[in-house]
Amino acid sequence: MELDVLMNGELAGTLGYTAATHRYVFRYSPVWLSRKERYALGPTLPLETGADTTEEQHSAAVRQFFENLLPEGQALDDAASTHKLSKGNLMGLLAALGGETAGALQLRLPGTVATPVPEARRPLSHAELSERIRARPFHPFSVWDGRVRLSIAGYQDKIAVFEEADGQWALVEGGHLASTHILKPEPVAAQLAGLTGNEFFCMRLAHRAKLPVAEVALVRVPEPVLAVKRFDRELSGGRVVRRHIIDGCQALGLSSALKYERPYGDTRDVRDLREGASLPMLFALLEHCPRPAAERLALLRWTLFQVLIGNTDAHAKNLSFYAGREGLTLAPAYDLVCGFAFDGVQLLDTTYAMAIGDAFHAQELSPFEWASFAHACGLPLRQVSIELARMAKRVAESLPGTLEDAREAGVAPALVELLHAIVVTECERQARMAPEIAKVDPALL
């Protein structure tokens, strides 16, 4: 079984699978390798495979990279069921869903590029979207017109759409069209009620705090839907240009099952097995960047913001990089959510997706843990101390404008007040802690 792998419409290579040996292989095309602007799809898929890389190692790296293009959870179940495939059939799923993945990659059966699909726009009205949102308990949200319209990683319900010049949405395919926005309705689960408003608040707070972040809008159809503008798409002259991105798991060469630092859970017997993605691993990646110092600062600020908003789901697949000829560059932030808001009265009794030092809980976070984080990530203690104080101040000063944004968007007043209280508490606590970080004796780390 083989699939052509296209980069923004140009053949970059071929993905192959041999069932008898259960091995995968990826080879760059001669045309791609001859390009002056050629570059690797990611750090784990170099343009030239090292002589010391075994077939098993190469196969594992290829599988891990491409499986991260698939959705997770119920969306993956629905895709497999719709196409009558096993969830473990990576090649079959990529063949079915590979036309609209994250970034610039497209996967197609060989020969289909020579017969391009005609351009098609299928309008999506608010009324139809509302009906489908309400029908989710009976009808998979990712399946439209008998086709899976989603190949974006993550568990949350979402659909990728094209936004017309007049603001109307459409399902598109073929030609130079591709989705430009991702629509995320409220989850079906009652315990996650308010997630769209929560994410809108946190994303707008990041924007006001001057962090690079995806643009969002809260639209009512009348159910609340968060519309996220894709930062891996650029609309130019009626044509959608795709931009190559990879998430943290792809960059690290990890499967999606290892997106959390504690991939086996937080129970007593397994909580010390920290074999998943971690902040030190992500900071080490930045040696692949054209400007390592600038990217380290950007990743540090991303990390600080997660702590200040109480985001307990800031895992490696909720972080992405632009990948190009010069290396990796941190992409805008996305999927910013205050996890503390879903923990009832015990707001701070929650677990971070990736530890700060050895602190997985907010109540464990201390100047020493911040210093331990800095040491493990190769950051000066003084830099972490200064940046934490600055970020806490900036976020606190950005709250009034964010409150106004949320109220104008129709976020429930009780949720707005809860989020405000959580962020104020965290900003004040971290601001008190910040000066003490630089005082930690390096000999203790």
Residues designated catalytic? 313
For 194-310, where are the alpha helices, taking DSSP H only?
Answer: 195-208, 248-252, 279-285, 292-309
Q: Which amino acid is at 422?
A: I
- Asked if 398 contacts 209 with a C-beta cutoff of 8 angstroms, the reply is yes
Residue whose tokens read 């997985």: 360
Say if residue 222 is preceded by a cis peptide, omega within 30 of 0: yes
* Residue from 321, 351, 162 nearest 245 by CA: 321
Rounded CA-CA distance 145/147 in Å is: 5
- Asked if 180 contacts 215 with a C-beta cutoff of 8 angstroms, the reply is no
SS3 217: strand
- Sign of CA pseudo-dihedral 191, 249, 218, 310: positive
Question: What DSSP string runs through 96-159?
Answer: HHTTS-STTEEEE-TTGGGSPPPPEEEEE-HHHHHHHHHTTTTS-TTEETTEE-----SSS--E
Which H or E element spans position 416? Answer: helix 413-437
